[in-house]
Amino acid sequence: MSDDRLIVALDVANAIEGLNVAERLGATVDFYKIGLGMLTGGGLGLANELKHEQGKRIFLDMKFFDIGATVEKAVRGIAGFDFDFLTVHGDPQVVRAAKEGASGTALKILAVTILTSNDRADLDANLIIPGDIADIVTTRAARAFEAGADGVIASPQEAALIRALPQAKGRLIVTPGVRPGGADLGDQKRVATPAHAIAAGADHIVIGRPIWQAPDPRAAAQAILAELATV
């Protein structure tokens, strides 16, 4: 039985590999994320096929960041495909432009706060203001909500703080950086287990390699779904 709180990240090389993963998962998974890594490998076509031929929900993870007019135009084009979620950087002017581009459609705009692969040392190298990451993420989330974001992308470690914001009422929290117990962290630095992420206030969790790199991806997904059923 599927549970769309689980979004499987198809971070594979191309659309053929992505279709293979989706076929192996079958009806176990209803929601997929397709990102920049597959953009030149047929990712948009794969997203369209999964959405309109297989009835799956699609999270297009493009993290748009540009001047307002460009973001608005790009989002308007994406909105025509009838996908479910799209990411943009969480700067308020970017969020406002994206919402304008998505107006009149069901596409939900998710604002990226701080990437889950970043820690404080990374923020220092990027000249991001000093302070605790959780405080920065929470502030960026609040500003993104005020700019009209339908939801935010944040690590499970910040989900509870974001959920407590007055601005978060009725908004989505989507958490990458989720790893089943004992899984390799890969390039993620701020992580939690699936159950902890949902209990902290996340609406959806995003998991990729622990599922599609598993010897039996369907069994790996089913184990995660069984864990989600406890929260």
User: Any catalytic annotation for residue 63?
Assistant: yes
Q: Provide the 10 A C-beta neighbour count for residue 44.
A: 18
CB within 8 A of 107, min separation 6: which ones?
75, 78, 79, 82, 83, 84, 85, 86
Compute the distance between CA of residue 204 and CA of residue 206 in angstroms, rounded to an integer.
7
Catalytic residue among 63, 99, 108, 189: 63
CB within 8 A of 83, min separation 6: which ones?
47, 51, 58, 59, 60, 107
Tokens of 172: 């989505």
**Do the beta carbons of residue 90 and residue 64 sit within 8 Å?**
no
**Do the beta carbons of residue 35 and residue 8 sit within 8 Å?**
no
Q: Is 9 exposed, middle or buried (0-12, 13-18, 19+ CB in 10 A)?
A: buried
Residues with catalytic function: 63
